[in-house]
Structures are given as C-alpha cells and as structure tokens.
Amino acid sequence: MKLLRFGEPGKERPGLLDSQQQIRDLSSVVDDINGDSLSAESLAKIAAFDIESLPVVSNAQRFGPCVGSVGKFICIGLNYVDHCEETGAPVPTEPVVFTKATSAITGPDDGIIKPRGSEKLDWEVEMGIVIGREAKYVSEADAEDYIAGYCVVHDVSERGFQLERSGQWDLGKGCDTFGPIGPYLVTRDAVKDPLNLNIWLTVNGKTYQNSNTKNMVFGPAQLVSFLSQYMSLQPGDIISTGTPPGVGLGQKPPVYLNVGDKVELGIEGLGEQSQKILPSP
C-alpha cells in the first residue's frame, strides 16, 4: 500500500493511493497515518478494507508529510560506499548516527527555506525507514518485522552550519523545512527489495545524484538492529539511511543551492519530491 497524508499544513488527513493513482480518504478507517496506525494489525485492517468504498479526493490536494507526529528523526551519515569516496572519508565500520529536528519535517513538495546567513545550502536524497512497532535490543534477523514501510527523505543540509560551527552536525541539519518526507509511506510488503532501488536527484534539471540503494554500507535490518541497542525505536520514528554521491559539497568546485532553484528527487517505487528554494522570512 501507498499511505499518505493530504491537506493544508497542520490539517492533514489520512489517505491511500489506489491502483488508478487516485487519493482515497482514509478518515473513516484511521485517525491519521502515524505511530498509532502503523502496527501490523492496523495495516492489515487498512489492507482488508474495501478501498473502492472510500471517497475519492477529487480536488487537487497538497501532500503532507507521509507520517504524522514523528517522535524521532534519526539520520545515518556516510552510508554509501561511493559517497565516502566522494567526501574522502573512510567507510564506517559501524553506522554514523545523528538526529534531525522533527520541526524540520515538511511535505514532499513544500518549499525549502534558505536560512539567514546560509551560504552552503546542500541536497541529499535518502531512503527513509518508518518504524511500525517498538524495537528494543532487536536482532538483525528479526529487525525487518519492526519496519512498517519506506519513504523518500530529503536530508537538506547547510554545510557551513554543519561543518564550520559547533563541531556537531545538528545545526546544519535541523533548520525549518530541512526534512521533506513522502509523498507516500510504502508498506514493507509492497517493497520487494529495499536494497535494490534506483535513487536520484536533480537541481534545475541537471542530474547530480544517480545511484542505487544496493550501494549502502548498512542496510535497513542492520540499522534497525544497531539503533535498537542504544535507544528504543517507537512506531512512527523515521530513520533516514544516508545519501549516495553527487551532493553539492562533493562537486569540484562545490555547488550550493540558491533562492529560486528547483530540486527534484525520487526513489524507485517510493515516489518523487519537488521543491523550490525560498528566501528566509
């Protein structure tokens, strides 16, 4: 299934994309697409429902973030072998972990605000893992059972804030609008192999990132298991799994985003995003 949230910011309603690519309103089935509705039992209830009986959302609607009320937004750095080569960093022997503020989360086509003082605004297309049940000290063999599904994440970064300020990455990762997610949460059963999906990003029509998730250092099961040894993962938490090569920082010379630029990105089977860079208010 492709689950989604539609409507104005803060007023999103739960939906589902049917086989004719129409949005169906799920409000009569679940209150929202969030941690409470992502258990195996809840997803089975949605799947068993007569989708054709649900109302079609006929008017054009904004896609909201595909998961509501996200508790933790966890990111993995340097998780593609070729991205490590691009940045000159060694391939990690265990996942590089940082967090992104949940206030950064926006819809997949909402604008990205260039923060005040930003000179090195960068892009990173990533696959997101959405947790479906509490995971604590989970084995790698069992880890997939804790995954509700997958989505597209844009891990927007301000490299000056990230690398030239406090010594922590968070300042350059958590700015408002730096975390578009969606358009869909694609349930685990509908993703045949999350480690064999084409992943891409363009800026103003020029392709910068073009890779495949098979190039990840640590796959979804490894990441869920690893993180669960240090923190409990809750339903609705998102793990952003790292980006392939082609980021602006890695260009020679570096290329950064400016107001008016258009970024488009997507992952095979998980959907596409499109954002325009906006000035800071």
Domains within the chain, CATH numbers bracketed? 2-53 (no CATH), 73-278 (3.90.850.10)
Strand ranges across the sheet with 73-77: 23-25, 13-17, 2-6, 185-187, 147-154, 125-131, 238-240, 73-77, 96-99
pLDDT digits (tens, 9 = 90+) for 152-199: 999 999 999 998 887 778 889 999 999 999 999 999 999 999 999 999
pLDDT digits (tens, 9 = 90+) for 193-243: 999 999 999 999 999 999 999 999 999 999 999 999 999 999 999 999 999
Q: What does the pLDDT average to over 24-50? A: 95
- When comparing pLDDT for 65 and 85, which is higher? 65
Q: Both ends of the chain: CA-CA distance in Å?
A: 38
Q: What does the pLDDT average to over 257-264? A: 98
Q: Assess whether pLDDT exceeds 90 at residue 86.
A: no
pLDDT digits (tens, 9 = 90+) for 116-141: 999 999 999 999 999 999 999 999 99
Going 277 to 9 to 271 to 39, the CA torsion angle's sign is positive
Q: How many CB atoms lie within 10 A of CB 160?
A: 18
Q: Render 143-162 in DSSP notation, one character per residue.
A: GGGGEEEEEEEE--EEHHHH
Q: Assess whether pLDDT exceeds 80 at residue 87.
A: no
Alpha helices in 181-254 (DSSP H): 220-228
pTM: 0.97
Q: What is the per-residue pLDDT for 88?
A: 79
Percent of the chain with pLDDT over 70: 100
Enter the tokens of residue 175: 């700015």
Q: What is the per-residue pLDDT for 215?
A: 95
pLDDT-based confidence at 68, cuts 50/70/90? very high
Residue type, 222: Q
- When comparing pLDDT for 34 and 58, which is higher? 34
Residue type, 48: A
Query: Please, which residues have CB within 8 angstroms of residue 230's CB and are 6 or more apart in sequence?
Result: none
Q: What does the pLDDT average to over 87-106? A: 92
